Amino acid sequence: MTGRAALASRGAAGQLMPPWLWVWLIGDLAVLIPGQISDERYQFAEYTGHGDIPGRLTAGIPYKLLLLFGVIAALTYVVLAAGAVAALFPHLRGRWVERRFRLARDDRDVITEMQGFVSQYDPSIQLRVAISSQQLARIYPAGWRTARIAVFLPLVALWYRDRRAAQAVLLHEVAHRRHGDQFVVGLGSPFTWLIRIWVPAFLLLVLAPVVVYAALGGGLLAQAVSGQGALELLRPAELLILPVAALWLAELNADEFTTHVAGPDALRHALGGSKGTDAPIAARALALLSHPPRRLRLLCAAPRPAGTVALLAAWPAALIAQLGLLIAGAFVAYLLIGQQLPDIGTDLLAGTRQFLAGNRILLITAVILLLGWPVLARPWDRLWSPRRSSAQHQLWRPYLAAATVPAALLAVSFAPLPASYAGQSPAHDTCAQLAAWNHSGGMDAKLRADSAVGPVYKAIASPQGPAVAARALESATAAALRNPPPGTARDSYVTAMTDLGAFARDVLAGRTAPAGTELANGLTADEKTSSLLAEQIRKCSVPVQVPPSAVTTTPVPSTAHPAPGSAQLTTAQLKARLLTQADLAGYAPSAPPNDFPSYSDKPVCVATLNDLSSASAPSAAVTQATAAFTAGPDGPWIEEVARSYPGLGAAQAFATAVKTLAGCGTFTLGQTAAAGTESVQPLGSVNLGRQSWSAAIATQTTIPVTEKMILAQEGTSLIALQVASAVGLPPAGQIRAIAARAIARLTQ
Amino acid sequence: MDVAGVWAERIAQRFTPAEASFAAEVGMAYAAGGSRRTELLPGHSVQPGAFGPGGWAELPMILQVLAGIGPALKAFLGSPQVANVLAAASLLTALRQGRSAESPQGPGQPAQVQPPAGSVDAAPAPAGNERQAVRQAFLALRERLEAAGFDQVRADELAYGLLEELLSDTAGAATFLDALTAVPDDGTARPRKASRRISGRRKDPR
């Protein structure tokens, strides 16, 4: 004889499971809620600008939404705490239940018979009768050591029609009482009532903010909020797993007692009364918060050794479900804030370790309770019922097997998993410094300096002269240099502001030649700074916008010469105006590539790129010339394709190419089948020619190749400049300078 | 005990003896209306995973049906066709004999009543109008019982028996129906077609 069958044969009063409801209740009141109050206070301080995040940032809508999510999530703790506290006043609950359901003592024969049956198992329980057909029978506390069963009219009818089923119902309630469950479950339980009304209320309260959030759309601000928002929204579900699991197990434990005394058929008949209920789906779903599904109860009524072990291990295993939900939520949150996959892995492992370490007390309690329950069951039973228990000690083996679950989790909590989060190492400090730098006006200073470059350039050729604008730039760069950003962007930032300041001083001094060099160097460094800052902000999820670099804000004219006329250039003219080796120091002429991919899941994208790479000849009406250079076998490679169109053909070709490439995203490519992927990330205008557009292109095949493409249209001509490399691209400013040179030659 | 309690007990003793213990209280609670009436009828507050009340309590549902059709029944009971008690009794006998003659079921199975379409040999032939009035009352009551969730056989049995009880004391029955309908439903106490489980559990051990 093994498993439950063996357990069931041991005396009439054995309780199969430890009192998980009490474990959760004490843990909730003593550990979880105080800890969460502290955590919520910290978060509220953060979201309201009283923490590390400056108030200037938290004043926006995203942080208001986060605050709202936080408040709603915190209400879950309030609900759980209220339910737990209410369980501590059984006298009040008893009086309220008897008034609410009009319960009264009754001495009719049928009630006397029921009372006699119940007294066999617990003489301290008294019956009260309600003239109501809403339920069958429910236990409720009348004090710390007294309990009553409310008997409803259907049970009276059942008593005559199916005595064993009616007895099973009463035994189930007696079992709750002898397990000490009646304080938390049963008739008029504030705990289950609060849980059942809170879940729909939470969904309602969350729905409106989420709609508002969705309306906010993407962007850095929304991105920063979305990660934390996902965590906040999932928190109530995580919090409910353990209490709901404990409630289910309390019911299944009472069923086990019933099955043991009255047999599984009696329990099945009793449960048959709830078959085919026509309650709405929502009501049925909410009922699952306090009672297991009827099918599960019927399944568990069949004695199976493996089922016994599974039931005993279910509550510790609920921790695994809670951890799983936590990991899923965190994974989504990390993806939403754009965290890299390796960092996500590190953070999830660190989170797992932190979760398990934080639940060590719970796990140790579970191990002790499971191992000790064969002995503890009898005194626990006697604690609630004055009747002397006849239960013998339970078998050890199922409890020993079940204890391996919390023991294993406990062992994992000591495993050498990452102890710190990827974002909490030195990078975390950098993020805090970045937020502080932004808060102190660092980003604004950069924006002022960037904005001051364009007016200087414009004013050089103006009658008023550039002095005023140059002084403004000098002042702006000096201010910016007094507050450089932290982290990787610091060096390029200092270089950019120094060079732009030098440019301003050269302009003031009338040193034209060095001014051009300083400007080019300054713009290059500034573009790099903007790129690094954007990356850093994305990683840190700091809700600030990176202003465009001076490169894109400075309206540098495409050429000092007049724009070309509307005449289409001949092939010879185009060829003569291509970049030469003299324009590209360190590069040598090379043959243009001719092994372009022909297969893709987005053929139009590959065709457009191939076309811009001189892979295909343009129509007869279009003239074309190409040039290619290389700095080494692995690049960088430079390819220039210059075309001249009749009429407005250049503008149309530009628009068509940009429209196509901007929507490409990532796609496969190969010669006859997919051999890799290519992605096009639009970068916008680079302020060259009449109109320009650029993109970062990455090709992932055997050898990854990165590329920057610049398309520029001027008059009847269109230039496609592609700089690619397998070993690293030249600085963005240098690429733009090459493109500017190509435009200049084209329009000479 | 008021008239609703007396009649509820009378109905319970004949049709739902397992509920006779509290039948008087049920009748009075139903007549009181409001939440006391609402609580007599199975509601959505039942937790699906918990022990449900099932269809064990039939008496409240019978009272609900009688209240629903109360005005029509009162009109029927006060009509000239049934003013003569002897005539009403003969009509019921015709109904009963019609059921027995056409029923293939065994003695333990309640048979479905086939309302007499023509003359019934064993009973005095009532006038056409009287027969029609009884038939209509029977059909209306049976339809209501089926709508409340009773299966066809049980509804048939109840409709016949209830009419018999009401016709045996038409004055008292009218007072009883008045008591049931004195306080209107508050909207929450409505017939529910859900109690399909009511079928098949009719034989009380008492």
- The pLDDT-based confidence of A224 (bands split at 50, 70, 90) is low
The CA angle A77-A79-A81, to the nearest 5 degrees, is 65
Q: What is the pLDDT of residue A173?
A: 93
* Confidence check: pLDDT of A327 > 90: no
- More confident: B156 or B83: B156
Judged by DSSP in three states, B194 sits in coil
Residue A462 DSSP code? S
User: Helices B59-68 and B3-15 sit at what angle, rounded to 10 degrees?
Assistant: 120
Contact call for A288 and B205, based on CB within 8 A = no
Q: What is the pLDDT of residue A116?
A: 94
Specify the pairing of strand A125-130 against strand A147-152: parallel
Q: Record the tokens describing residue A234, joined without a space.
A: 């999932």
Q: Does A280 touch chain B (CB under 8 A)?
A: yes
Q: Considering Cα of A524, then A530, then A534, then A535, what sign does the dihedral take?
A: positive
Chain center to CA of A309: 35
CATH code for the part of the protein at A571-746: 3.40.1000.70
What is the interface size between A and B, counted as CB pairs within 8 Å? 135
Q: Considering Cα of A121, then A125, then A130, then A135, what sign does the dihedral take?
A: negative
Q: In Å, how far are A417, A556, A618, A719, A743 from A690, measured between CA atoms? A: 57, 12, 22, 12, 10
Residues A145, A193 contacting (CB under 8 angstroms): no
Closest CA in chain B for residue A172: B51
Long-range contacts of A456-463 (CB under 8 A, 24+ apart): A456/A503, A456/A504, A456/A507, A457/A519, A457/A554, A457/A555, A457/A556, A458/A555, A460/A507
What count of other Cβ atoms lies within 10 Å of the Cβ of residue A464? Answer: 8
* Confidence check: pLDDT of A234 > 90: no
- The pLDDT-based confidence of B110 (bands split at 50, 70, 90) is very low
Q: Stretch B134-159: mean pLDDT, rounded?
A: 88
DSSP structure string for A276-331: T----HHHHHHHTTTS--HHHHHHHHS--HHHHHHHHHHHHHHHHHHHHHHHHHHH
Residues A630, A638 contacting (CB under 8 angstroms): yes
Rounded distance between C-alpha atoms, residue A488 and residue A430, angstroms: 9
- The pLDDT-based confidence of B112 (bands split at 50, 70, 90) is very low
Q: What is the pLDDT of residues A372-415, one digit of tens each?
A: 988 888 888 888 776 655 555 567 888 999 999 999 999 988 88
* Confidence check: pLDDT of A558 > 70: no
Residues of A in contact with B16 (CB under 8 A): 157
For residue B167, the distance in angstroms to the closest alpha carbon of chain A comes to 28
Residues of A in contact with B60 (CB under 8 A): 133, 153
Q: Stretch B185-201: mean pLDDT, rounded?
A: 41
Dihedral angle of Cα B69, B70, B73, B79, to the nearest 10 degrees: -140
Q: What's at A705, amino acid-wise?
A: V
For residue A427, the distance in angstroms to the closest alpha carbon of chain B comes to 51
Rounded distance between C-alpha atoms, residue A418 and residue A647, angstroms: 64
Straight-line distance from the first to the last Cα atom of chain B, in angstroms, rounded to the nearest whole number: 23
- Using CB atoms, pick whichever of A131, A153, A169 lies closest to residue B51: A169
- The pLDDT-based confidence of A523 (bands split at 50, 70, 90) is confident
Paired with A672 in beta bridges are: none
- The pLDDT-based confidence of A308 (bands split at 50, 70, 90) is confident
* Confidence check: pLDDT of B126 > 80: no
Lowest mean pLDDT of A372-381, A402-411, A573-582, B179-188, name the range. Answer: B179-188
* Confidence check: pLDDT of A4 > 80: no
Q: What's at A707, amino acid-wise?
A: E
Q: What is the pLDDT of residues A692-708, one digit of tens each?
A: 888 988 887 767 788 89
Q: What is the pLDDT of residue A168?
A: 93
Contacts of A11 (CB under 8 A, 6+ apart): A389, A390, A391, A392
- The pLDDT-based confidence of B203 (bands split at 50, 70, 90) is very low
Q: Stretch A340-355: mean pLDDT, rounded?
A: 82
Domain boundaries, given as residue ranges, for chain A:
3-87+189-423, 426-553, 571-746
- The pLDDT-based confidence of B20 (bands split at 50, 70, 90) is very high
Q: What is the pLDDT of residue A126?
A: 93
Residues A644, A638 contacting (CB under 8 angstroms): no
DSSP structure string for A537-548: HHHHT---PPPP
Strand order in the sheet with A691-700: A588-589, A623-630, A637-644, A717-725, A705-714, A691-700, A676-684, A665-669
Q: What is the pLDDT of residue B109?
A: 41
Residue carrying the six token digits 């084209």: A746
Q: What is the pLDDT of residue B128?
A: 58
* Confidence check: pLDDT of A590 > 50: yes
Q: Which of A34-43, A325-334, A358-367, A424-433 has the highest mean pLDDT?
A: A358-367
Q: Per residue in B41-76, is it b (16+ CB within 10 Å) or e — as a string?
A: bbbbebbbbbbbbbbbbbbbbbbbbbbbbbeebbeb
* Confidence check: pLDDT of B169 > 50: yes
* Confidence check: pLDDT of A619 > 70: yes
* Confidence check: pLDDT of A341 > 60: yes
Rounded distance between C-alpha atoms, residue A241 and residue A252, angstroms: 16
Q: What is the pLDDT of residues A248-281, one digit of tens each?
A: 999 998 988 888 888 888 888 888 765 555 667 7
Q: Stretch A517-526: mean pLDDT, rounded?
A: 81
* Mean pLDDT score across all residues of chain A: 79
ipTM of the complex: 0.78
Contacts of A528 (CB under 8 A, 6+ apart): A492, A496, A731, A732, A733
Contact call for A157 and B60, based on CB within 8 A = no
Q: Stretch A361-376: mean pLDDT, rounded?
A: 90
- The pLDDT-based confidence of A220 (bands split at 50, 70, 90) is very low
The pTM (predicted TM-score) of the whole model is: 0.60
Q: What's at A333, amino acid-wise?
A: A
Q: Considering Cα of A354, then A360, then A361, then A362, what sign does the dihedral take?
A: positive
- The pLDDT-based confidence of A104 (bands split at 50, 70, 90) is very high
Q: What is the pLDDT of residues B51-109, one digit of tens each?
A: 766 666 889 999 999 999 888 888 888 877 666 655 666 666 666 665 554 444 443 34
Q: What is the pLDDT of residues A184-205, one digit of tens each?
A: 888 888 888 887 787 778 777 7
* Mean pLDDT score across all residues of chain B: 72
Q: What is the pLDDT of residue B61?
A: 92
Contact call for A278 and B39, based on CB within 8 A = no
Q: What is the pLDDT of residue B176?
A: 93
Q: Stretch A20-47: mean pLDDT, rounded?
A: 76
Report percent pLDDT > 70 for chain A.
Answer: 81
Rounded distance between C-alpha atoms, residue A724 and residue A704, angstroms: 10
- More confident: A293 or B7: B7
Residues A682, A693 contacting (CB under 8 angstroms): yes
Contacts of A363 (CB under 8 A, 6+ apart): A316, A319, A356, A406, A407, A409, A410, A413
- Using CB atoms, pick whichever of A110, A132, A288 lies closest to residue B49: A288
* Confidence check: pLDDT of A618 > 80: no
Q: What is the pLDDT of residue A390?
A: 55
* Confidence check: pLDDT of B190 > 80: no
- More confident: A612 or A542: A612
The contact set of B with A (CB < 8 A) is 16-19, 21-22, 25-26, 29, 36, 39-58, 60, 192, 194, 196-197, 201, 204-206
- The pLDDT-based confidence of A660 (bands split at 50, 70, 90) is confident
- Using CB atoms, pick whichever of B19, B39, B53 lies closest to residue A136: B53
- The pLDDT-based confidence of B202 (bands split at 50, 70, 90) is very low
Domain boundaries, given as residue ranges, for chain B:
3-46+54-198
Residue A402 DSSP code? H
Q: What is the pLDDT of residues B23-32, one digit of tens each?
A: 999 999 999 9
